[in-house]
Amino acid sequence: AGGAAMADGEGLVSVDYEVSGKVQGVFFRKYTQGEAKRLGLVGWVQNTSHGTVQGQIQGPTARVRELQEWLRKIGSPQSRISRAEFSNEKKITALEHKDFQILK
């Protein structure tokens, strides 16, 4: 009885993330962008001043879960992920980004 978009149980979600470890200077952002685009997700990724990588992911729940798993366990070939934290997860009715960007 909800809106047609949610009827298939494939609602859209938005979630923020921060990945700690050896994640800067190892093409982590480029690989994250590539993986997100492969999954059809939108959002952004950037390096922080304290040595982590952070960003936001938006898209169908199942695909977002796949990227979360990738951020937690895989990352770029040279990276060493010690921790991936996710926060501010919420359902959204429409994507708030056009594509997945690397922010400077």
The catalytic residue positions are: 29, 47
CA–CA separation, 57 vs 70, rounded Å?
12
Label each residue of 37-62 as H, E or C: HHHCCEEEEEECCCCCEEEEEEEEHH
CA–CA dist 104, 87 (Å, integer): 21
Q: What angle do CA 36, 41, 46 make, to 5 degrees?
A: 55
- Token pair belonging to 11: 């609602």
